[in-house]
Amino acid sequence: MPYTSLKFRPGIISDLTSYSNEGGYVDGDKVRFRNGFPEKFGGWVKHNANTYQGSARRLHNWVALDGSDYLGVGTHLKYYIEEGGSFNDITPKRGSDVTSGVTFTTNTTTNTESQVIVNTNAHGANLNDFVTISNADAAVGGIPASAIGDSDGKEHQIIEIVSSNAFKIDVGTNASSVATGAAKSSGSVTLSFQINTGLDATVGGTGWGAGQWSGTTDGAAATTINEGGTFSNSDTTLTVTSSNPTHQIATGDIILIEKELLFVTGVSSNNLTVVRGHTGLNANTDPVGTSSSTQDTNSFSVAASHADGTLVRLVKGNATATDDFVGWSKASSITTPGAEIRTWSHDNFGEDLILNPRDGAIYYWDKSNGLSNRAVELKDAFVSGRTSIPQIAKQVLVSDQDRHVIAFGCEGLGASSTATEGSGTQDPLLIRFSSQENPVDWFPTATNTAGDLRLGGGSTFMQAVETKQQLLVFTNKTLHSMKFIGPPFTFGLQELSKNITIMSPASAVPVDDVVFWMGVDTFYLYAGGTQQLPCPVKDKVFLDFNFDERDKVHVGVNSEFSEVIWFYPKAGSSTVNAYVVYNYEGKVWYYGTLTRDAWIDRGIRTYPIAAGSSYLYNHELTNDDDGSPMTSFIESGPMDMGDGDKFVSIKQMLPDVTFNGSDNPTPSVSFTLKAKNSAGGNFLQTESKDTTRSTTTPIEQFTDKIDYRVRGRSFAIKVESTGIGVKYKLGTPRVDMRPDGRR
């Protein structure tokens, strides 16, 4: 009997039933389609061995006049400029330096203490902020200058806010061997604070429905434990002290000690009775403060103990029986529901850089000052010519054609043409632009081109992207076109579409004059008109999606393969760990798993660059996962003969796989043939004619055929690669498929 060719439609279709998707692929990972056939993704290696701090959310590449190749890297903690493999910290400072009243204390008098308390005037710092300590010497509380700071300044992350006048840092071992409170003997210690760090997550820890909170976060002043001992794992009471007259903690409050949550069931002066290890509270049957089987102190592992002086925060005030709590656990982070993670927008103004942390100030880095200097607020970037500069914005970009700096979702004009700063009130729909070729002149006059516009739809600005012809501006509900029209209005604004959605501030991307974006439940494109993009994997994406972390969604382009790639967090994940691809040349979709926080296409640099796990990675230049094997697979839907009403036997298969481009001298993939007897049934164990051969058969470079003894009404195939240095492409396999006459 002649062989039957197994021809499959390109792309993955996961939203159809088995019979409806006959002849298609239903699942895959790290596989793309080129010329209608699936092949393995290109691999990646570390761009360099150096790491950055925080989760990188945005990347921007540009070249200076002297040929310097810069890559801006914005994380939730820092902003770096990478050059030659080195990460140069240009994160702006905030406020004035503290130069008086600075002393240092330690928790103990031993020489193994690594944590030092910095006592100073009201600092206004937050947990995880960074502080640079300069001019310190060995006389500072006996703490070595090498541990705290030197003439160039040494940076430390704040690990605890002790009070409004003190915070704690980690300086390594052998910090002190003298009594606490010793001060610097001479000179003046200088403290310089970085701008406040941002959030890395929008909800609290695993299994805890933090997104369902109501009420106040950090509602009371920080307090500390004071039990005359330690708060052990078995304790249900503790004593707290506060710099305030009272600690402000009441029955029914939820407090946080380090990363452990406790439920306060009773208060007597400074003595609190608490529930530890709370795994659940049913609002209807477990009123606040009652004993319940769900309030089991041994139900999961909590911290062994908390020492005196440990910070206590009120994170939820006056919890009531009507509050909806969904499981408790130790929280990895505590943030206000609905809060945005730290993201950046950035663009180069010539060889300089303009940057903006979302809902923060606009900053300017002057290339002529060098990589050792930090960015400064735009209002402080130049000696003169600054008027009415926005002090808060959601995004900033430079219009390439007309050289205006544009701020979106920003504050209004200052009081006069001589005002350095804006009005101080943020308008989430306001757009303002500087005068042409002048990034610091924002007050409109008859002799400049500065001005403003206000979006007429939606309730807040989301994202702006620049195409060859115009700027496309998204609110949460509408899409607008913004074009340069010249004087006297400079820019014109036109609404293009209503009732659209957009997932995040980084989910739209231009490809020439076409813009693709992810909405909250579908995909769109704009190409002279707005339309939904048909997506046969939509359920796969949006039914397995962590919408609490939607701000982390970002999109990139891999132009070599005509791909638009959205990276997103799957349900239950606080990190971006999945992707979905639209191939705009083949008009097909595919998806998979990959942890990447930011992406930038090749252009100035040879390869696409992506960020993940504190490293930058060059993509599409190897076949592996940074030197380790990469798992890649593609799986078909069930196939049958005729209407699938007869049993069929498969005796032999002729594989059609190429390994061109493999680094492995003996590349192979595994080939699995599965059979089932009905659309709703399970796949059966495949029986091979050769009993020494497993169900999953290795296909090597010169394998000509595989002998089988398989029977069923329908069949599916799966091709998988798990080896090092393997690159494969699947063609059109052929099978010896024979009806056996039975129904």
Comparing 272 with 292, the larger pLDDT belongs to: 272
The model's pLDDT over 608-656, given as tens digits with 9 standing for 90+, comes to 999 999 999 999 999 999 999 999 999 998 887 666 667 888 888 899 9
Q: Is residue 674 part of a domain?
A: yes
pLDDT tens for each residue of 428-479: 999 999 999 999 999 999 999 999 999 998 999 999 999 998 999 999 999 9
Mean pLDDT along residues 531-539: 97
Q: What is the token pair recorded at 547?
A: 């919408």
- Note whether 105 and 27 are same-domain residues: no
What percentage of the chain has pLDDT greater than the value 70?
78
CATH number of residue 177's parent domain? 2.40.30.20
In a domain, 549, yes or no: no
Higher pLDDT, 305 or 566: 566
The listed range with the strongest mean pLDDT (20-34, 132-146, 266-280, 554-568) is: 554-568
- The reply to whether 636 and 735 lie within a common domain is yes
Q: Does 225 lie in the same domain as 188?
A: no
Instruction: Tell me which of 194, 219, 244 is where a domain ends.
Output: 194
- pLDDT tens profile 78-133: 999 999 999 999 999 988 888 877 877 776 555 456 778 888 887 878 778 899 88
Same domain, 187 and 285: no
Is-contact 378 363, C-beta < 8 A? Answer: yes
Are both 294 and 256 inside the same structural domain? yes
Most confident of 173-182, 458-467, 698-707: 458-467
Backbone angles phi, psi at 580, to 5 degrees: -135, 140
* Domain-embedded: residue 221: yes
pLDDT at 621: 93
CATH classification at residue 720: 2.60.120
Instruction: Look at residues 290, 316, 342 and tell me which one is the last residue of a structural domain.
Output: 316
User: Do both 27 and 100 map to the same domain?
Assistant: no
* Maximal C-alpha separation, the chain: 99
How many CB atoms within 10 Å of residue 733? 23
Determine the structural domain holding residue 260 and report its residue range.
Answer: 210-316
Determine the pLDDT at residue 587.
97
Distance separating alpha carbons of residues 508 and 527, to the nearest angstrom: 13
Residue 14 lies in a domain: yes
Per-residue confidence band for 296, with pLDDT thresholds at 50, 70 and 90: very low
Question: Does 576 fall in a domain?
Answer: no
Q: Are residues 215 and 151 in the same domain?
A: no
pLDDT at 66: 96
Report yes or no: 40 and 727 within 8 Å, Cβ to Cβ: yes
Whether residues 145 and 223 share a domain: the answer is no
**163 with 222, same domain?**
no
467-525 per-position pLDDT tens digit? 998 999 999 999 999 999 988 889 999 999 999 999 999 999 999 889 999 999 999 99
Structure token pair of residue 271:
């003595």
User: Is the same domain home to 217 and 255?
Assistant: yes
Same domain, 733 and 707: yes
% of the chain at pLDDT higher than 90? 50
In a domain, 583, yes or no: no
How far, in Å, CA of 691 to CA of 688, rounded?
A: 6
Kindly state whether residue 18 falls inside one of the protein's structural domains.
Answer: yes
Q: Is the N-terminal amide bond of 488 cis, ω within 30° of 0? A: yes
* Residue-level pLDDT at 224: 75
Same-domain pairing of 182 and 257:
no
Choice between 304 and 579, residue whose per-residue pLDDT is larger: 579
Number of domains in the chain: 3
The number of angstroms, rounded, from the C-alpha of 435 to the middle of its chain's C-alpha atoms is 34
Sheet strand arrangement including 79-83: 56-63, 69-75, 79-83, 86-89
Q: Last residue of some domain: 168, 194, 220?
A: 194
Average pLDDT along the chain: 81
Give the pLDDT confidence of 676-698 residue by residue, as tens digits.
776 666 666 544 333 333 357 77
User: Tell me: the pLDDT tens digits for 545-567?
Assistant: 999 899 999 999 999 999 999 99
Which of 141-155, 300-314, 612-626, 728-742 has the least mean pLDDT? Answer: 141-155
Cβ contacts of 390-393, under 8 Å, gap ≥ 24: 390/362, 390/422, 390/432, 390/442, 391/361, 391/362, 391/421, 391/422, 391/424, 392/359, 392/360, 392/361, 392/422, 392/426, 393/356, 393/359, 393/360, 393/361, 393/362, 393/426
551 vs 303, residue with greater confidence: 551
Task: Examine residue 87 and state whether it is found in any structural domain, yes or no.
Answer: no
Of 26-40, 184-198, 370-384, 441-455, give the lowest mean pLDDT range: 184-198
Angstrom distance (rounded) from CA 569 to CA 553: 7
Write phi, then psi, for 725 (nearest 5 degrees).
70, 20
